[in-house]
Structure 1
Amino acid sequence: MDDRTAPLPDPASIWDDRAAADYDTPGEGMFSAEVLDPTVDRLVELAEGGEVLELAVGTGRVAIPLADRGIAVTGIELSEAMVARLREKAGPDQLPVLLGDMTTTRAPGEFSLVYLVFNTISNLLTQAEQVECFRNAARHLRPGGRFLIELGLPELRSLTPGKRATVGHVEDGYVLFDTYDVLRQHVVSHHVRFAADPADGHEAALFRSAHRYIWPAELDLMAQLAGLELESRHADFAGTAFTGESPSHVSVYRLPSTP
């Protein structure tokens, strides 16, 4: 069977207990201070003292340090395993979480900021679902409120004719490579972990996650369909200018204060 017609990994099922445990890397990787500090600083700035909602809150990587800064944070999360992991670190009084899908689940109240980080909107595998995510975010915003998305860009310029995969990261004991279906805008990330020293064994563990990548212009149109306007776009949370060479972006959309 051609991989391009093979069933994709189900986003609702891959985030099990093992994946949730592997996701947490305290002090390292996405949990390092150099990554989290500018992220939280920017979210505090955009919240302007109001309540905040994180879609796909996961294990609380961003939401917990944000709550520690005095921001009232609510989360929505599809994976029970991820929420269980979060609950080992923060109780429901500090960080309430609704179990459900980020396209339809409604949290009570209005928020000054809704945010979706670390490429998570790409876990929705159709354009229609991604549009509904924007609409759900807009439903939660007070007038003048903002919706922030952090999203990587596909490495399509690395794909020569006939080539369907790119290598994203290589280190001792770990390789990440991505396979592309450019017709459906799908990419499957393959995370392969193995013993760094062959003397320690030859077995490898594979974790696969499916995504639908979105170009910035397409993302902006989704925002318009939800009644949102692009306010800013940078290459990262530190405010680096976004250019044609940027591998990712942080885009902020705003709900107009008046209809």
Structure 2
Amino acid sequence: MAGTLIVTGGGRGIGAAVSMLAAARSWRVGVNYRQNGEAARRVVADIDAAGGQALAVQADVARPEEVERLFHEVNTAFGPLTGLVNNAGLLERQARVEELDAARLHRVLETNVVGAFLCAGAAVRQMSTRRGGAGGVIVNVSSRAAVLGSAGEYVDYAAAKAAVDTLTVGLAREVAAEGIRVCGVRPGLIDTEIHALGGEPGRVARLSSTVPLGRGGLPAEVAHAIVWLLSAEASYVTGTTLDVSGGR
């Protein structure tokens, strides 16, 4: 199934790879960004150059009014929503739990958890057959950190992604009879700039030896899993989170 798709945090890293691959598979893509409009517009330009359809839309997913505007703008441009990739995420510098303050915890949880819930809710309101929609797919981007805990680095981020895993299971069961599948992916050590945000740009290289496949992953490898989950080939998959982690 291809139609209208929103990719939150779609301008960089995994989100950019998803936006590009989905557009190549005939999805019309709303490329969401919070701050880096230049990166999002580059993704849109690349999609346009390849013959696809895309639109860059600024919105902070932790703000309800901005989420509603995002979904409205994409719907107006491309028609009814049939897919959402909940990819927007926030990671702060590595620290132990006793070093975390309330302000940091609010920032991490608002983007990674509140944002995921707000976007999922907006998607359900558009896609649910109970509300007159045509159905669709939500893919939540979690992290292997949700399972491994990220001790000594970012337990707050790991906990936030564990909440996203719970959202995937609960929402999948809630809307299965309304034409909506809800799935997740847990990327492992993927070579993106998120590690620089955590204060260690070389983290993938440092930890590659802990990966059974012996290397870090690429954003495109995660994107292929996500776009498969969006497709009709995954039509009997819901409430499941797929690890894309090289065995780690």
What TM-score results when the alignment is normalised by the length of structure 2? 0.46
What TM-score results when the alignment is normalised by the length of structure 1? 0.45
Considering only CA atoms, is the larger Rg found in Structure 1 or Structure 2?
1
